[in-house]
Amino acid sequence: MLQTTWVALLLGFWSSLYLIDAFLKNYHLTSLHYFHLLEETGISISIGQLRWYTTCFNRVFIRLGQFKPFFLHMWFSFGVAFGLISMVISLFVLTLMVFNTLSQQPVDQQVLTPVMPGVNLPTSQMSYYLLTLLICGILHEFGHALAAVREQVHVNGFGFFILILYPGAFVEMSTEHLKVIAPIRQLRIYCAGVWHNFIIVLAALLVLLLLPTCLLPFYTIGNSVVVSYVVQGSAVSGPRGLVVGDPITSISGCRVTSIDDWYTCIAVSIKEGNLGNCMALNVIQDLDTSMAGAFMKKSKCSFAL
């Protein structure tokens, strides 16, 4: 789907939602019931934004915030240290980027790359990207809420929002309580979100590293290589050719058990030339019906994997 189509769909959706919301709020037969429904559900609609606010998680925050007080104190203190270190590193990286931009110094690799859907982020991966943003946003605000309860700051509520296409979460806490506590306690609350995001990154890396080991009982390793892509129109494509997922165990008698073996056997086949295998004429005709009747000999030699 074209980018202009996506933009048109988004504009149409948000325009329709806003007009319906405005109509229900101003029409005298529905305005009273509609305002009551919005108040009961905690839903609010504005231009390009849909929000849901609730207090049903407050008890959960209080219980978790009072669990293992010393552990939470140390946990969020580590978050303060991480926040200060990451702030210094961020300032250094941003300064380096500005310097390289102003001095037009060539760089081998971009340090920070903005993510732009449809440009360097395929639209087929948008759902994964948005889901990741939502999970990170929830755990980010969850950290703020736990730290606030731990530092005796009242949490008013928690909510989710969608801004055009961007999903996220937010936590509302008492500003008066936050202002009167000590600066170090404020830092524990402020740094809790980014600290939790850093822990998410470490957890994701750990899962990525352990994934082959966890999936080992469901797969076999060292028996063959698997076709991951087939170029359309090539000699091995078509209904009687290779398809994605086919295992390749040998090439002209050369055993293939890994990617290194694959390249080695390809190189050996190129050096030795097209040896091929002799096959009966009727077998060839059964394998390739488009060439039926074209073979006039009793046998034919063809190269086979």
Instruction: Please classify residue 153 by burial: count the beta carbons closer than 10 Å to its beta carbon, then call 0-12 exposed, 13-18 middle and 19+ buried.
Output: buried
Instruction: Please classify residue 161 by burial: count the beta carbons closer than 10 Å to its beta carbon, then call 0-12 exposed, 13-18 middle and 19+ buried.
Output: middle
- 277 in any annotated domain: yes
Same domain, 230 and 206: no
From 166, 193, 215, give the residue that closes a domain. Answer: 215
Active-site residues, by number, are 141
Whose tokens are 């929002």? That residue is 161
Same domain, 103 and 211: yes
- 31 in any annotated domain: no
- 117 in any annotated domain: yes
Same domain, 154 and 249: no
**pLDDT computed for residue 290 by the predictor:** 56
Same domain, 185 and 259: no
- 39 in any annotated domain: no
- Rounded CA-CA distance 106/270 in Å is 41
Q: Are 260 and 239 in contact (CB under 8 A)?
A: no
Same domain, 169 and 241: no
Same domain, 89 and 205: yes
Same domain, 247 and 143: no
Same domain, 68 and 186: yes
Residue 3: CA count within 13 A, CB half-sphere: 6
pTM score, two decimals? Answer: 0.68
Same domain, 55 and 199: yes
- 43 in any annotated domain: no
> 176: domain range?
48-215
- 33 in any annotated domain: no
Same domain, 200 and 90: yes
**Would you write out the chain's pLDDT as a tens digit for each of its 305 residues?**
566 787 888 889 989 999 999 999 888 888 899 899 998 888 999 888 999 999 888 898 888 888 888 999 999 999 999 999 999 998 998 888 788 777 766 656 666 677 776 667 777 778 888 898 899 999 999 999 999 999 989 999 999 999 988 899 999 998 888 888 999 999 999 999 999 999 999 999 999 999 878 887 877 776 788 888 888 878 778 777 888 888 888 887 888 888 888 888 888 888 876 656 666 777 766 666 554 444 444 444 444 44
Same domain, 278 and 137: no
